[in-house]
A and B are shown apart, each in its own frame.
Chain A
Amino acid sequence: MAGPPLVYTPPSYTTTNVLYGVGILFTAIPGTALPSDQNLGVASAWTALGWAYVGATEAGVTVTFNPSTQDINVEEQPTPVAVIVNTATLQITCSLSEETLTNVNLAWGNGGSVAVTPAGAGQPGKSVLTLSTNFASMACAVIGKNQSGFARVLSVPSVMSAGQVQTAYRRAAQQRLYPLTLNAVCPFSQITWTDLTAIATS
C-alpha cells in the first residue's frame, strides 16, 4: 500500500514588495534636521530646512554597501567558524546632469566656495567657484517611494564627496555629466532607514 502523496508547495511571494522608481538625493550641512515624519515625502519641507536637491541625474541614484570580511578558521573545519566585518563602506553615487557651480563643487569634493559678484557699472554679474582640497563633510538623504506609496528615507548624517570625476564635453552625444560619490564617514549606528507605513490616526 502506497504512503501519503509527496506534495510540493513553494511559498508565495509578494509582487507589491518589488519596488522601482527614482531616488531623490538631498544634501545639507551636518546637523541639519530632517522634516517631521508627516512631511518626509514633501520636497518643500526638506528645502525649507536647508536641504539642497541635487537635481536631475543621468541614471538615478545608487546606494552601495560594501563590507569586507575576515574569516576565522580552524584546522579541524573547512568552513570558517565565524566571519567578522573588517571594514565596511557605504557609498551613494549618481551622475549629476545639471551643471551648476554648486553641483560641480559637490562632485569635486565639496571643498570649494562660490563667490557671487552682482552686476554693476562696468562689472558683469558673476559667480566664481574657487576650488580647494579641504573637502567639507555634509549630510545626505535619499528619498524613495515604498510599497505603500509613502516615503522611505535613507539618512546618512555625515558623508564626504570623494570620487573620480570625469566630464566629457561632447557636441551631441550626451550631456555633460558630473559623477558624484558620497562616502559615509559616520558610525553605521547613525545611519537610518525610515519607512512611513500608515497615516496618522488623528
Chain B
Amino acid sequence: MTEPAQPAKAAAAPSKPATGPLSAAEQDQLTTLQARQAAAAVAAGEAVVMKVGGGHESITYGGVTVTTEPTTVPAGMAAALVEAAADAGVTITQES
C-alpha cells in the first residue's frame, strides 16, 4: 500500500513576519544593508562622504552627525554642514 505524498512542511508553512527588537544577526544584516545603500547613494551622487578633524569628535547639524570616521551625508546637506562647521570652528572635509 502506498501512502499519498505529503506536501513539504517547509514549503507549505508561510513565513511569519518577525516582530520586536532586532536580533544581533538582524542588526548586523541591517548595518550591512545600510552601508550598501550609503555606498550606492554616494555612487549615484545623492550623498557625499565627510568627516571632521581638528580635535573635534563630531558635529551635528539638521539631524545629521558627521564624525571623525568617513560619514555618508545627503548631498543636499553638504553645503549647510560646511557652513555650520565654519560657524562652529570645526574642521570638516568632504572626501567624495
Binding site for B on A (CB under 8 A): 27-29, 31, 38-39, 42, 44, 48, 50, 52, 102, 110, 112-118, 120, 123, 128, 130, 132, 134, 136, 138, 200, 202
Contacts and interface: CB of A to CB of B under 8 A. Distances in A.
20 contacts: A42-B20, A50-B63, A112-B61, A113-B59, A113-B81, A113-B85, A114-B60, A114-B61, A115-B58, A115-B85, A116-B57, A116-B60, A128-B88, A130-B84, A136-B61, A136-B62, A136-B80, A138-B63, A200-B17, A202-B16
B22 A48 contact: yes
Contacts of A31: 74
B87 A116 contact: no
B62 A115 contact: no
Contact of B62 (A38, A110, A130): A110
A113 B63 contact: no
A63 to B, nearest CB: 21
A32 to B, nearest CB: 8
A29 B87 contact: no
B30 interface: yes
Interface residues of B, number: 31
A42 B26 CA distance: 15
A73 to B, nearest CB: 45
Q: Which of B15, B52, B88 has the most CB of A within 10 A?
A: B88
Interface in B49-93: 52, 55-64, 74, 77, 80-81, 83-85, 87-90
Interface in B18-63: 19-22, 30, 52, 55-63
Interface of B: 14-17, 19-22, 30, 52, 55-64, 74, 77, 80-81, 83-85, 87-90
Given A130-B87, A138-B62, 6 more contacts: A31-B74, A42-B19, A44-B22, A52-B63, A115-B89, A116-B59
B11 to A, nearest CB: 13
Contacts of A115: 52, 56, 58-59, 85, 88-90
Contact of A29 (B19, B57, B63, B84): B63
